[in-house]
Amino acid sequence: MIKTVGIVSLSSGIIGESFIRFETDIGVRRLREYGLNVKFMPHALMGLDYVKAHPEKRAEDLLQAFRDPDIDMILCAIGGDDTYRLLPYLFDHNELADAVTDKVFLGFSDTTINHLMLHKVGLNTFYGQAFLPDICELSPEMHPYTRKFFEELISTGTVKEITPSDVWYEERKSFEPDQVGKPLIAHPNEGFQLLQGAPVFSGKILGGCIDSMYDFFNGERYEDMPILCEKYHLFPDTEDWKGRILLLESSEEKASPEKYQQLLEYLKERGVFEAVSGVLVGKPMDETYAQEYRQLLVQVINKPDLPVVFNLNIGHAMPRCIIPFGIEAVVDVDNQIIKFTE
């Protein structure tokens, strides 16, 4: 049972900006309505410029959250694009390994990098939701599908199974105060789509945002990111991927098919598709390039026996489930369910 949530800004510091205060107030109220104590870590609310300039303070907040005996769950504020800059402050002197304790860690997007940091030191984490985009949602309430998984996580400390949402929502075009209370436009959802391979397979899930993984290998966004990730051996090696299920989801940047293909090629070059037992792929925002992505997954992987399942409600498209990393999962597309067994 989660009692105290510690909120960290490990990438963007946007939750500290005054223009977004009305959203954070919504999120804090909702968390408190669950009976949760809410603790913002010391630098989480310092704003965009400060957080950007001080990766060492972001790392300090994460370490403090793990060391704080009162905090049961570490909730990421939002994603961003440069949490890789925390690497020296978490690994140069085994800081993260020495601080990490068995707490619930939840985030997605650029937080993919933090999930892999925590995987490296042996902590199983939870992927799929964050404070600002989910708890602070401007609709009259949290999306029911999103809320179901968050409530399960805070009440039990885990997630036992995932089924598809009945609907998906269009991306909100404005986040101004006049949007408070306005629901998103909904469309019927088609459920899990098997692109190839057996409909039933198993393994421990690991992965995240395809855009963040692209930056592991390509320095066009940050020249030093591939260098640092390689220095600290952050991307799992082929042996570590063996028997796992790879999770991929795409961001609000809506990667062009050309960029999507390049990322898949990077993963293929590193032997990931030869090692894993299956691939799970999240629904793209607004279903942009969905058909192109489906075709590229089959074409680039070029391994017909490898199960590839598309259209999970995970990642940047709403609503979002929560996926446990590091727990044995059984994917059953015929019955439209993913079950987790500890």
pLDDT of residue 342: 74
CATH number, domain of 101, equals 3.40.50.10740
Helix/strand/coil (H/E/C) assignment for every residue in 57-121: HHHHHHHHHHHCCCCCEEEECCCCCCHHHHHHHHHCCCHHHHHCCCCEEEECHHHHHHHHHHHHC
| Same-domain check for residues 21 and 158 | yes
User: Cα-Cα-Cα-Cα dihedral of 84, 90, 96, 97, to 10°?
Assistant: 100
What mean pLDDT, rounded, does the chain reach? 97
With a cut of 90, say whether residue 129 has pLDDT above it: yes
pLDDT of residue 335: 98
Closest CA to 121 of 90, 83, 153: 90
| Same-domain check for residues 178 and 90 | no
User: Cα-Cα-Cα-Cα dihedral of 30, 172, 145, 35, to 10°?
Assistant: -10
CATH number, domain of 285, equals 3.50.30.60
| Same-domain check for residues 115 and 190 | no
Q: Which of 135, 162, 189 is the last residue of a domain?
A: 162
Contacts of 195 (CB under 8 A, 6+ apart): 294, 297, 298, 308, 309, 310
| Same-domain check for residues 17 and 123 | yes
- Residue tagged 């600002």 (tokens): 132
Judge whether 332 and 200 are in contact, CB under 8 Å.
yes
Q: Which of 162, 183, 216 is the last residue of a domain?
A: 162
CA pair distance 54, 226, nearest whole angstrom: 20
Secondary structure letter of residue 135 according to DSSP: I
**What is the total count of domains within the chain?**
2
| Same-domain check for residues 189 and 55 | no
Percent of the chain scored above 70 by pLDDT?
100
Contacts of 41 (CB under 8 A, 6+ apart): 6, 7, 8, 9, 61, 62, 64, 65
3-class state of residue 299 by DSSP: helix
| Same-domain check for residues 70 and 108 | yes
Q: Which of 145, 162, 179 is the last residue of a domain?
A: 162
Which tokens belong to 219? 């320095």
User: For the chain, give me the number of helices (H) and strands (E)?
Assistant: 13, 16
Q: What domain range is 235 assigned to?
A: 167-341
Confidence band for 36, pLDDT divided at 50, 70 and 90: very high
Q: Mean of the pLDDT values across residues 138-160? A: 97
| Same-domain check for residues 11 and 135 | yes
| Same-domain check for residues 174 and 55 | no
Q: 310-340 pLDDT, tens per residue?
A: 999 999 999 999 999 999 999 999 999 999 9
CA pair distance 127, 16, nearest whole angstrom: 23
Q: Mean of the pLDDT values across residues 88-102? A: 98
233 backbone φψ class: left, alpha, beta (φ>0; ψ -120 to 50): left
**φ/ψ of residue 139, rounded to 5:** -60, 165
With a cut of 80, say whether residue 5 has pLDDT above it: yes
Q: Mean of the pLDDT values across residues 266-278? A: 97
| Same-domain check for residues 128 and 45 | yes
Which tokens belong to 56? 């060492």
Which tokens belong to 72? 């049961």
